[in-house]
Amino acid sequence: MCRLMAYKGTPIVIDDLLYKPKNSLINQSINAREIEEPLNGDGFGVGWYVPGLNLEPINFVSVNPAWSNRNLRNLAPKTMTGCMLAHVRAASVGDVSESNCHPFQ
């Protein structure tokens, strides 16, 4: 089962949403307790807006697990937004490919 997280509010550093909380999306992607298979390691995606720079959303997707992606780990504490969607994937149907990672463009 895939997991999605959405945020709309006061601008916040995305690290404060994706990594820092005890039940963050990244923690849930590697250590889910409510299902038999605790991993969501078949890709991830993060989309966010920075309206002061551009009206188009920024999309970052990968077929690698979110918990081990160095680029996401480096980007998260340096990026702020007031509108974000994040997704971690556990493939059940479809290829493990970037085209199957939300947010779709």
- Please identify every residue annotated as catalytic: 2
DSSP state for residue 23 in the 8-state scheme: T
CA-to-CA distance for 57 and 63, rounded, in angstroms?
20
CA-to-CA distance for 89 and 63, rounded, in angstroms?
9
CA-to-CA distance for 8 and 17, rounded, in angstroms?
11
